[in-house]
C-alpha cells in the first residue's frame, strides 16, 4: 500500500497540508489554516499546518498527531491501516470517513 494512504484510507498525498509542507508553500499553509479554522470552528494557525502524512515519519498537524481517534486506534492496534483491522466494517470512527468518501473505502480494500 502506498505510504501516503492514511490509516483511514484518505490519500495524504492529495492533502493540502502535506502539499504545503513538502513544497514549503506558506501561502498554501495560510489558506489551509483559514479554511480548516472555518470548517472546524477552532483557531488553526499556519504554523500548525506541517504534516508529511499520517503513516510516515515526520511532522503531523496537531490533530493528526494526537487527536485523530482513527490514527490513535490504528497505532494502538499496530495495523498498517484500518483495512487490516477485523472491526473495519463496523467501526463508527472509520465510517465517519469512509461513509462520505468512497475513494477512502476503496483505498482500504485489500490492505
The answer to whether residue 35 sits within a structural domain is: yes
Partner residues linked to 5 by β-bridges: 11
**Residue 81 · residue 74 · CB < 8 Å:** yes
**Residue 16 · residue 32 · CB < 8 Å:** yes
The answer to whether residue 65 sits within a structural domain is: yes
Residue-level pLDDT at 2: 83
**Count of domains in the chain?**
1
The answer to whether residue 1 sits within a structural domain is: no
Segment 4-11 mean pLDDT: 95
6/3: higher pLDDT: 6
Most distant pair of Cα atoms in the chain: their distance: 41
Residue-level pLDDT at 39: 92
Helix, strand or coil, per DSSP, at residue 64: helix
The answer to whether residue 5 sits within a structural domain is: no
The answer to whether residue 42 sits within a structural domain is: yes
**Residue 103 · residue 5 · CB < 8 Å:** no
In the Cβ-directed half-sphere of 55, how many Cα atoms lie within 13 Å? 22
**Residue 71 · residue 54 · CB < 8 Å:** yes
Domain span holding position 44: 12-108
Q: Residues in the chain, how many?
A: 111
The answer to whether residue 3 sits within a structural domain is: no
pTM over 0.75: yes
Give tens-digit pLDDT for 24-64.
Answer: 999 999 999 999 999 999 999 999 999 999 999 999 999 99
Amino acid at each position: 500500500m502506498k505510504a501516503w494512504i492514511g490509516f483511514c484510507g484518505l490519500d495524504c498525498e492529495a492533502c493540502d497540508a502535506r502539499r504545503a509542507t513538502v513544497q514549503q508553500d506558506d501561502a498554501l499553509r495560510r489558506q489551509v489554516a483559514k479554511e480548516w479554522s472555518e470548517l472546524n470552528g477552532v483557531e488553526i494557525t499556519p504554523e500548525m499546518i506541517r504534516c508529511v502524512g499520517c503513516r510516515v515519519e515526520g511532522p503531523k498537524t496537531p490533530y493528526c498527531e494526537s487527536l485523530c481517534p482513527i490514527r490513535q486506534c490504528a497505532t494502538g492496534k499496530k495495523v498498517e491501516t484500518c483495512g487490516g483491522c477485523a472491526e473495519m466494517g463496523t467501526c463508527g470512527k472509520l465510517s465517519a470517513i469512509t461513509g462520505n468518501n468512497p475513494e477512502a473505502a476503496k483505498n482500504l480494500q485489500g490492505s
